[in-house]
Amino acid sequence: MTTATHTAADAISIDTPLSKKQWFVLAVLCFTILLISLDQTVLNIALPTLVKDLHPTNSGLEWIIDSYTLTQAVLLIASGALGDRFGRRRMFIIGSALFGGGSLGCALVHSTWPLVAMRVLTGLGAAALMPATLAIIVETFEGHHRARAIGIWAGIGGIGGAAGPLVGGLLLHHFWWGSVFLINVPIAAIAIIGALFAITETLADDPAPLDPVAVVLSAAGLTALTYALIVAPNKHWSSHVVLGSLAAAAILLNAFISWDSRRDDQLIDFGLFSNAGFSVGIAAVSSMFFAMFGVSFLLSQYIQFVQGASVLSVGFRFVPMALGSVIASNLSSRLAHRFGLRRVVLSGMTSVIAGLALFSSMSTTSGALIVSIAFTCVGVGMGLSIAPASNVVVSVLPTDKIGVGSGLRSMVQWLGGSFAVAIVGTVATSHYRSQVNAAYKTTLRGVPQADRGAISEQIGRAVLSVQHLPARLAGQVTDVTNHAFVGGLRIATLIGLAVVTSATVGVATFLPKNLEIDDEEAKLASAG
């Protein structure tokens, strides 16, 4: 139950057409979700350029990605509670300002770790924005207009995420890598101005209390776990740093679970996972994000460094996934109504499995056709499965638990993306380094000692290093590093394949066959 400071005339009844003000509010909210979804994928296309300009380590490169998604994931639920207590419009404006300021900072820095710090700031903004936008929609629209508004909002988000690589490719073709961040600044400014003039403040009558201890323990534990996964290739799994980080993560996360489970106002209701439908729905969504983030992280480097494509060409290579995702997501609701949620989710996940299987079979000479087919399979699969799987999370829970369950789903999906980059990056890096270092004893004995560190660090630095080597030796280095990288890509893809396959088996086993889409307006509102 919420108390809005606006009048009843501002709300839209079922029979009243949308006013200009309501269309404007929706446009502002859609601009916001557009910039958030763009930022989730646009950076992947810029990674090879960042390697050339900033010379980050592999762990630094992974932190550039993970610092944003991890910050967003661990603070989503807490920021929703803050919005209930201090005002949704206020959180929307603060989030837009943080997002825009962080993006501007990202575009202006000139080294790895300041960029990571700015990405954290951007993640803080995204965490504040996501719950606020949906809460504002629920407060602003009523009846079928609310369902329509949420559908448009979600559709724009999907389009932004799918179009990110293409937008990034176009920007990098004409400008420097900072442009992929700078594009967020004017959109954030538009969002702030629009909120000041069109969005009316709302508060919850009985706001959810915010437990700072739970927030700190969960954030610290997840950060320690991610840190261990990212630095392991550099420090080795047996190092004191990695083992200490894993131990700290275990202690902090156990402390969080113990603390949170004893409170009435839990940050995370772990009891929800006792519902099999909820658990497999969460697993399906998080596995999709695991596969998308992990594979995209490596494929942008594969296409540019191994296949030698330009940044613009890399962007266009991702178009089949974008188109497949957009088209399939628009059809998923109608298909779910006709064939049932379970069948559509399983069909989508099977398509993703097929795409990942194709990626796992790629070689250094794989043509554009097989890459396009694999991207199409993944895009269509994600479009078919994510929305119905999210609906499963809503449909299997009691009405009073849907809001909590939806927030938990969002948190888990972003954690899945963060862990994907960390795990996939760790595995691929370890394989790459072991193969290159072994080659120094055989094929690459002639490589100068001064160049070996850069070549074995990552393929991006290897591409730069071979430019001053003799032609024959440069060709040998290129052949070894390309095969080493592709080998790591295959292993990483197989990990993603195993994750998605396991989730698919869970859906097939535990998801009720007769589950249908719940279109009740009350449930849709609660999900928001």
Instruction: Give 203's strand partners.
Output: 3
Q: How confident is the model at residue 6 (pLDDT cuts 50, 70, 90)?
A: very low
Residue 13 has pLDDT above 60, yes or no: no
Beta strands in 98-139 (DSSP E): none
CA distance 229 to 459: 20
In angstroms, how far is CA 421 from the centroid of its own chain?
Answer: 10
Q: How confident is the model at residue 7 (pLDDT cuts 50, 70, 90)?
A: very low
Tell me the average pLDDT of the chain. Answer: 80
222-226 mean pLDDT:
82
CA distance 95 to 464: 39
Residue 68 has pLDDT above 60, yes or no: yes
Question: 52, 69, 51: which is closest to 60 by C-alpha?
Answer: 51
**What pLDDT does 331 receive?**
84
The CATH T-level fold of domain 16-200 is: Growth Hormone; Chain: A; (1.20.1250)
**What pLDDT does 209 receive?**
67
Give the end-to-end CA distance of the chain in Å, rounded to a whole number: 13
Q: How confident is the model at residue 353 (pLDDT cuts 50, 70, 90)?
A: very high
Q: What token pair was written down for 34?
A: 């557009």
500-507 mean pLDDT:
91
Q: What token pair was written down for 524?
A: 């849709």
Residue 302 has pLDDT above 70, yes or no: yes
**What pLDDT does 376 receive?**
92
Do 323 and 163 touch, CB atoms closer than 8 A?
Answer: no
Amino acid identity, residue 345? V
Q: Which of 46-60, 133-147, 236-250, 266-280 has the highest mean pLDDT?
A: 236-250
**What pLDDT does 24 receive?**
83
CA distance 421 to 419: 6
Residue 4 has pLDDT above 50, yes or no: no
Share of the chain above pLDDT 70, in %: 86
CA distance 276 to 228: 31
487-506 mean pLDDT:
92
CA distance 490 to 74: 30
Q: Which of 163-172, 187-196, 326-335, 455-464 has the highest mean pLDDT?
A: 187-196
Q: How confident is the model at residue 491 (pLDDT cuts 50, 70, 90)?
A: very high
**What pLDDT does 526 receive?**
36
Backbone phi, then psi, for 39, in 5-degree steps? -65, -20
**What pLDDT does 251 receive?**
94
Residue 527 has pLDDT above 60, yes or no: no
Instruction: Give 3's strand partners.
Output: 203
Domains of the chain: which residue ranges? 16-200, 216-258, 276-517
CA distance 54 to 107: 12
What count of other Cβ atoms lies within 10 Å of the Cβ of residue 273?
14
Q: What token pair was written down for 404?
A: 């909590």
Q: How confident is the model at residue 446 (pLDDT cuts 50, 70, 90)?
A: confident
Q: What token pair was written down for 74?
A: 């661990």
More confident residue, 351 or 290: 351
Which H, E and C letters describe 359-371, residue by residue?
HHCCCCCCCHHHH
**What pLDDT does 43 receive?**
76
- pLDDT tens across 143-183, in order? 667 666 766 776 676 667 667 777 878 888 888 888 888 88
Do 88 and 4 touch, CB atoms closer than 8 A?
Answer: no
Backbone phi, then psi, for 469, in 5-degree steps? -90, 155
Specify the DSSP class assigned to residue 442. T
Specify the DSSP class assigned to residue 467. G
Packing angle, helices 319-339 and 341-360, rounded to 10: 150
Q: How confident is the model at residue 34 (pLDDT cuts 50, 70, 90)?
A: confident
Burial of 398 (0-12, 13-18, 19+ CB in 10 A): exposed
Kindly report the pTM of this predicted structure: 0.77
Question: 300, 295, 427, 290: which is closest to 359 by C-alpha?
Answer: 295
Torsion region of 7: left, alpha or beta (phi above 0 gives left; psi -120 to 50 gives alpha): beta
What are the CA-CA distances from residue 62 to residues 9, 191, 298 (Å)? 49, 29, 11
Backbone phi, then psi, for 280, in 5-degree steps? -70, -30
Close Cβ partners of 395 (under 8 Å, ≥ 6 residues apart): 277, 341, 515, 516, 517, 518, 523
Give me the DSSP letters along 33-59. HHHHHHHHHGGGGGHHHHHHHH---HH
386-406 mean pLDDT:
68
- Out of 24-33, 230-239, 482-491, which region has the weakest mean confidence (pLDDT)? 230-239
Burial of 147 (0-12, 13-18, 19+ CB in 10 A): middle
Strand (E) or helix (H) holding 334: helix 319-339
3-state helix, strand, coil in the chain (%, to 5): 80, 0, 15
Give me the DSSP letters along 187-247. HHHHHHHHHHHHPPPEEESSPPP--HHHHHHHHHHHHHHHHHHHHHHHH-TTSHHHHHHHH
Query: If you count them, how many residues does the chain have?
Result: 528
| 276-517 and 16-200 share a CATH fold | yes
224-246 mean pLDDT:
79
Do 9 and 130 touch, CB atoms closer than 8 A?
Answer: no
Torsion region of 340: left, alpha or beta (phi above 0 gives left; psi -120 to 50 gives alpha): left
The CATH T-level fold of domain 276-517 is: Growth Hormone; Chain: A; (1.20.1250)
**What pLDDT does 497 receive?**
93
- Exposure string (b/e) for 92-120, b if CB count within 10 Å is 16 or more? bbbbbbbbbbbbbbbbebeebeebbebbb
Close Cβ partners of 73 (under 8 Å, ≥ 6 residues apart): 127, 222, 411, 412, 414, 415, 417, 418
In angstroms, how far is CA 47 from the centroid of its own chain?
Answer: 15
- pLDDT tens across 252-296, in order? 989 988 888 887 777 777 777 888 888 888 888 888 888 877 777
